[in-house]
Amino acid sequence: MSYMRTAILLAALTALFMGIGFLLGGQTGMIIALVMAGGMNLFAYWNSDKAVLRMYGAHLVDPNSGRDARDLYDMVAGLARNANLPMPKVYVMDNPQPNAFATGRNPENAAVAVTTGLMQTVTREELAGVIAHELAHIRHHDTLLMTITATIAGAISMLANFAMFFGGNRDNNHMGFIGTLALMILGPMAAGLVQMAISRTREYEADKGGAEICGHPLWLASALQKIAGGAARIPNEEAEENPASAHLFIVNPLHGLRLDRMFATHPPMEERVARLKAMSQTMGSGGYDGGSVRPASETGPWSGSVPESPRRARGPWG
């Protein structure tokens, strides 16, 4: 049912894009819009992962650069085996906000990225829950899906801007000035709502899949609560400059969650946690046992660029 709902929403987004092309240029405009979408998606298919990792200044973890790097790498490797996935690349972002995302066009070309803030905020078990959530996105091919939806939504906004210059002629058979104005306002809004609906649907499924991969739903539930609290207090400057990428993260990275629920890119945190707690009642504690991963130290390979912050009770990640 979840995949069917996602397919319907994606079809609606594509139809909206082609419809705007038709309003702007008739059948020719619709065909041009379709070709544009295909070209943008082809570019995004091959380059989206590199672009988003570069956008957030993520650097590849070298497992041979130190014990902390090896521990993080081994944790991802163990969880990937549980998920029957190829080993993804592992990245770290020098960002004080606790958060994480996955990217890549398929499981064979995937990457998992975590912030230094996340590693300083959560326990080893909670970090395993977060990584398992991201691996579930990879297993479900959500990373490609979300790239496509973001690309089409961006193209819709671009076409809506073109409408002011090419669609406002009173002799236009497809739309007049009022229609152009409505298109400029309602087109991007509708695209954003569909994109957000797809994101919310996939987040629920990734929570469920992540809990199954690590075998402990409460690990992820606890991590989500900590990450949400951190995201509300600590700004993510790169995300604020690129809000269209907010849906990639496990928790909305926009400071203060400035968008209301209707426009939120993620499901309500209370509902996500409640579902995971209910799931913990029906499954035994199995799966990933934490392995030999130890806490990241204050002098680890990523801690140097993390700004000083008030200390809470020290957890195993500092």
Q: What is the DSSP string of 161-224?
A: HHHHHHS--TT-SS--HHHHHHHHHHHHHHHHHHHHHHHHHHHHHHHHHHHHHHS-HHHHHHHH
174 is in an annotated binding site: no
Q: Is residue 210 part of a domain?
A: yes
Cβ neighbours around 263 below 10 Å, total: 11
Give per-residue pLDDT as tens, 44-73.
778 778 888 998 999 999 998 888 789 999
Q: Which residue has the higher pLDDT, 30 or 281?
A: 281
Distance of CA 167 to the CA centre of its chain: 34
In a domain, 177, yes or no: yes
- Work out the mean pLDDT of the chain and round it to a whole number: 77
Residue 306 has pLDDT above 50, yes or no: no
Please give the residue range of the domain that contains residue 214. Answer: 2-284
One of 125, 126, 134, 212 is an active-site residue; which one? 134
Residue 141 is labelled as binding a ligand: no
Please check the confidence at residue 165 and state whether its pLDDT lies above 80: no
pLDDT of residue 196: 65
Is residue 292, in this structure, part of any structural domain at all?
Answer: no
Q: How far apart are CA 232 and CA 243, in angstroms?
A: 15
143: nearest Cα among 107, 169, 116: 107
Q: What pLDDT does residue 311 have?
A: 35
* Residue 237 in domain: yes
> 312 in a domain, yes or no?
no
Q: Is the pLDDT of residue 227 over 80?
A: yes
What is the model's pLDDT at position 176? Answer: 57
Q: Is residue 318 part of a domain?
A: no
Question: What tokens does 141 get?
Answer: 């091919």
Assess whether pLDDT exceeds 70 at residue 282: yes
**What global pTM score does this model have?**
0.75
Lowest mean pLDDT among 33-47, 85-99, 162-176, 299-313: 299-313
Q: Is 137 annotated as a binding residue?
A: yes
Domains identified in the chain, total number? 1
**Percentage of residues of the chain with pLDDT beyond 70:** 64
- Known catalytic residue: 134? yes
Q: Would residue 295 count as lying in a domain? A: no
Cα–chain center distance at 40: 19
pLDDT exceeds 80 at position 260: no
Position 305 in a domain: no
